[in-house]
Amino acid sequence: MAGAAAKSKLSLGSAKGVQQRVTGGVLSVRRSLQLLEFMSEGEGMWSLADISRRLDVNKAIALRLIDELRATGFVYCDEATGAYVLTYKLSNLGLRKLAQTRLLDQSSGVLRELANETGELVRLGVVEFGSRVTWVLAFVGARRTLHIDPNYRLDVQLNTHAAGKAWLSTLSRQQAWDVLTETGIAKCTEFSKTKRRDIEGDLEQAQLTGYALSYEENELGVGAVAAPIMVNLASGERVCVGVVSIASPTTRMSAKDLQTLAPALLKGVAKLSDIWPIGPASSRHTATARSS
Q: pLDDT class for 39, splitting at 50, 70, 90?
A: confident
Sequence-ordered strand ranges (E) for the chain: 75-78, 83-86, 121-128, 132-140, 212-215, 222-232, 238-249
Task: Provide, rounded to the nearest whole percent, the portion of the chain with pLDDT above 90.
Answer: 45
Q: What is the mean pLDDT of residues 79-88?
A: 85
Task: Return mean pLDDT, the chain.
Answer: 81
Q: pLDDT class for 264, splitting at 50, 70, 90?
A: very high
CA 7 – CA 156 distance, rounded (Å): 10
CATH code for 100-285? Answer: 3.30.450.40
Output phi, psi for 90, to 5 deg. Answer: -65, -45
Q: What is the mean pLDDT of residues 60-83?
A: 88
Q: Which range in 2-6, 91-95, 249-253 is most confidently predicted, on average pLDDT?
A: 249-253
Q: Which range in 47-61, 92-106, 203-217 is most confidently predicted, on average pLDDT?
A: 203-217
Q: Answer yes or no: same fold for 2-87 and 100-285.
A: no
Q: Where are the domains of the chain?
A: 2-87, 100-285
Res 5: pLDDT: 38
pLDDT reading at 277 higher than 90: no
Instruction: Name the more confident of 228 and 284.
Output: 228
Res 282: pLDDT: 45
Res 193: pLDDT: 96
pLDDT reading at 237 higher than 60: yes
Q: Which of 214, 240, 210, 248 is nearest to 227 (CA)?
A: 210
Instruction: Name the more confident of 144 and 82.
Output: 82
Q: pLDDT class for 14, splitting at 50, 70, 90?
A: very low
Res 144: pLDDT: 57
CB 186, CB 8: distance < 8 Å = no
User: What fold does the segment set 2-87 form as a domain?
Assistant: Arc Repressor Mutant, subunit A (1.10.10)
Instruction: Name the more confident of 282 and 171.
Output: 171
